[in-house]
Structure 1
Amino acid sequence: MRRLFVLLSLLFSSLAGAAAARDISIATWNLGWHMDRATVTDWIEACTATYELDLTTKRYRPSTQIGARFGWDINAFDIEGWDAARFPVCDVYGANKQGFGFATVRVTLAAYEQRRTQIQNFIANSVPADIIAFQEVSGKEAVLEVLPNGAADWQVCSFTTFKVQRLAIAWKRSLGSQIACATEDPLTLKDVRPPKDQPRPGLSLAIDIGGTRLQVLNVHLKSSCVSPIGGNPLAGDASACQILHDQIVPLETWIDRETAVTDKTILLGDFNRNLWHELEDSRAVRSDGSDPTTPLPAGVRVSSLFEEVIDGKPASSAFTMLKELCPLNEVGKLLCGMGETRALDTPEVDVLRFHTYLGCRNPIGLDHILLGPGLVPRGDATHTSIGRLGGSRHPNKDNPEPLLGIADHCPLIASFSF
């Protein structure tokens, strides 16, 4: 009888543990310079203004003289006094224009409001996530304006400092309450790089879910150093690669510190680096052949960000990178799989960019989701197609308002057991 009682107790305990476990879905999505309503209004006004070139300073200044150029047609960062901490450049959206080739789409408030509605509807219908990590947003308000149901069911962690390409993490209120929301400023390299060369900070969110801490680390690392295959190794001389290389130590320091609190940590975002290609690269992780689990010696070059940072020490930082699938059709699946082992050529990438496939300009290779050892993945991560919503269009006689693409990345979505 006692033995039966013990067996039943173990059974009930097991069932209770299984019942307590829950599946949580998470997504990462770069929205491409997405701004809140107030910022967009001022940005459109600044881009619609006219400017002339100062031949002495080689910079543009406001002007109403004949021959002055609209902000839409010049590099806004060449304009004197341009508020780069608040505004993106004016040529965010572009499309082929009859007689002009590829040209900047001049944004209107009505067009941006339509884009905002399309993002909101897309999230509601195609992004079944409890947590969404956003990149390239102007802040909390910009995210609240695109979340379903007027954001009534969501909370948002973000910041207002640094440049306009900020990060945010949104989560459903029913999931849990916020413990902490903080930026990781050392990733900006603010002590070693001038402001114009400083990449974005990291953003961390800790949530209390039924008494257990879940941490989300959102990144948007330096761009233009995508793959070690066919060029752009981190050990190269390109300035973008050097900046990304400089982010390695602060990135690993941040991850090791945060995972020491709990191994139930998610690292995700726009890495601007094809981490799968690094795993295919046969070169030593470090130029001196030393062990990546040891502190990085001064002057030593790193060829693989993933293998240097995700080195399994401490054990709580031993993340698992989820395989990324494109469940579209056989061609899409094949190209996504090939893209993890080699650099796709331009025609192949163009197939994935087409609206019948993923529809976004940056379809694969930049965004990743990694789970800490305390979390159990529920399958692979999936790239979600945005289809025709990824393209922009100039106004014409049939459509007097321009059409703006909702993003140049596609959402990457995964689930895990918590």
Structure 2
Amino acid sequence: MTRPDLTRLSIALASLSLVLSACAQTGAPVVPPPVTGIASFNMGWAGTPAEFARYLSVCSAPAVKYCDTRPRIERGATVATDAEKARAAQCQEGTLAAAGGRNASMMVPPCNAYRPPRTPPGSPRIDPAVSRVPAAYQEKINQLATTVDGLIANDGVRVIAFQEVSGTEVIKLVLGTHADKFDVCAAKHDAFQTLAFAWDKTLTTRPGVCETESTLAILDPANDPAAFRRVRPGLALSLTVNGEPVTFMNVHLKAGCASVTNEDVRFPGRLLDDPAEACEVLNRQVAPLEAWIESVASKSPRFVWMGDFNRRVDDEEKLAIAKDKVRSDGSDPAGANKGANGKVATRYLWPELNDGTPVLHQVPLSTKEGGCTGFTGLDHIVISEAMKKVNEGVVFSRKVAVAEKPGQGIETSDHCPRMAKLRF
């Protein structure tokens, strides 16, 4: 910094000091910072039209025919039957051949990724063929753009964490007329489905910095020596808002181990030490996730953690689990937690992570689901203690229904955006 720059900085600091001093002496109120809208949105395998064309080419191949490479596990069971495993293996073999090998196949969505909107109970299901044409996919992109436009234009959202996207190109598509006003980044990941951020360029006084947290990209299935697919990494966005650093953390954790209760038959209650394959993977994400949160907190006390947790951490919080029940070995969740092959003793996600280092606060919903018809209880917003001090009282979030048109061939998304307004 040159001497003239130092002089100008000294003058500015002196002026600020005089203003604060005057406020203290006169009792004038300190004006709090304005609220800023933030949102998390899982866009349901959103990619470019060209990527959808590639999907159609692979999934319509004679040896594939839109089969499912994942072995289906019957409700109440923890593993698939041998017959189902054989069917899935045959499907995977055909898909790998059609895609051109393992690496190429990971850049193609699963062949059951796109489907028509759900019909009311008792109504006939829509023919899946209507979802297998480019026009249907373009309508999905159009409605995603309409949804995002509403978040920005109507709700004042200036930071959006996206899940289930292929990269920055599709983010620019759904930003539409707002694309020039936002910067974007995506997590580095060798698979179609990754994470991304979009943020208003004028929100930060320094260029935003994005960093991929690859430790969360655990092999899936965790106990399969032949596994080559990995779940999503994490993504951090560092901004400077109102002169102070703030970090946004974006996650999309392993699906299939969502509930701690049995209130919904679709999500059987499972602890993180359950032998189900999904819980085995989510369990192995706990240690790197906790290390990442603690690392961010040490550098940036003001942080917001949001995304698709695929776990009903609000239900876990309501249960108020005793410390000696959080882990299967009864140890303190604030202590070391390392096991063999990445598996830990953790049974509950929220009390394990919110162990006081750092202190975390969930941002609850102001309404049950705010008109949202997608998955419930999986998308969350969490703020740090430093952020809570800036946002006194109860801070709420809400769900925003996705835009859809009658007769749409592909549903816009099976999730709805979750948003909140915070002071930074």
1:404 aligns with 2:410: yes
Matched-pair contact (CA < 8 Å) for 1:184–1:201: yes
The equivalent position to 1:359 in structure 2, one of 366, 373, 384, is 373
Q: Deviations over 1:275-331 (max 9, x none)?
A: 012124446111122111111153652121111112111xxx2121011133xxxxx
Q: Which amino acid aligns with 1:270?
A: D
For residue 340 of structure 1, what is the aligned residue in structure 2? none
Q: Which amino acid aligns with 1:170?
A: A
The equivalent position to 2:365 in structure 1, one of 303, 321, 324, is 324
For residue 125 of structure 1, what is the aligned residue in structure 2? 150
Q: Deviations over 1:118-155 (max 9, x none)?
A: 21122212452110000000001111110031501111
Unaligned runs of 5+ in 1: 54-73, 327-332, 337-351, 394-401
The equivalent position to 2:209 in structure 1, one of 180, 200, 203, is 180
Q: Deviations over 1:64-89 (max 9, x none)?
A: xxxxxxxxxx9577423333321102
Q: The residue matched to 2:261 in structure 1 has which SS? A: coil
For residue 59 of structure 1, what is the aligned residue in structure 2? none
Unaligned runs of 5+ in 2: 1-18, 66-89, 263-268
The equivalent position to 2:24 in structure 1, one of 7, 10, 19, is 10
Matched-pair contact (CA < 8 Å) for 1:75–1:89: no
Pairwise CA distance, 1:103: 4.4
Pairwise CA distance, 1:28: 0.5
The equivalent position to 1:271 in structure 2, one of 303, 309, 312, is 309
- Structure with the higher fraction of residues in strand conformation: 1
Matched-pair contact (CA < 8 Å) for 1:359–1:388: no
In the aligned structure 2, how far is the partner of 1:94 from the partner of 1:271?
23
Pairwise CA distance, 1:102: 5.5
1:141 aligns with 2:169: yes
- Structure with the higher fraction of residues in helix conformation: 2
**TM-aligned CA distance change 1:18 to 1:35, over 3 Å:** same
1:245 aligns with 2:259: no
For residue 256 of structure 2, what is the aligned residue in structure 1? 224
Matched-pair contact (CA < 8 Å) for 1:29–1:132: yes
- Residue identity (%): 28
Matched-pair contact (CA < 8 Å) for 2:333–2:352: yes
For residue 293 of structure 1, what is the aligned residue in structure 2? 334
In the aligned structure 1, how far is the partner of 2:163 from the partner of 2:396?
21
Pairwise CA distance, 1:47: 3.0
Matched-pair contact (CA < 8 Å) for 2:189–2:233: no
Pairwise CA distance, 1:94: 2.6
**TM-aligned CA distance change 1:7 to 1:265, over 3 Å:** closer
In the aligned structure 1, how far is the partner of 2:161 from the partner of 2:115?
25
Q: Which amino acid aligns with 2:333?
A: P
Pairwise CA distance, 1:224: 0.2
Matched-pair contact (CA < 8 Å) for 2:37–2:421: yes
Q: The residue matched to 2:422 in structure 1 has which SS? A: strand
Q: Deviations over 1:19-47 (max 9, x none)?
A: 6x231111001001000233123223333
Aligned residues: 350
Q: The residue matched to 1:410 in structure 2 has which SS? A: coil
**TM-aligned CA distance change 1:89 to 1:296, over 3 Å:** same
Pairwise CA distance, 1:207: 1.0
With structure 2 as the length reference, what TM-score do the two structures score?
0.74
For residue 80 of structure 2, what is the aligned residue in structure 1? none
Matched-pair contact (CA < 8 Å) for 1:293–1:308: yes
In the aligned structure 2, how far is the partner of 1:278 from the partner of 1:100?
36
Pairwise CA distance, 1:175: 0.7
With structure 1 as the length reference, what TM-score do the two structures score?
0.75
The equivalent position to 1:23 in structure 2, one of 28, 32, 35, is 35
**TM-aligned CA distance change 1:41 to 1:7, over 3 Å:** closer
In the aligned structure 2, how far is the partner of 1:290 from the partner of 1:387?
47
1:85 aligns with 2:106: yes
For residue 347 of structure 2, what is the aligned residue in structure 1? 303
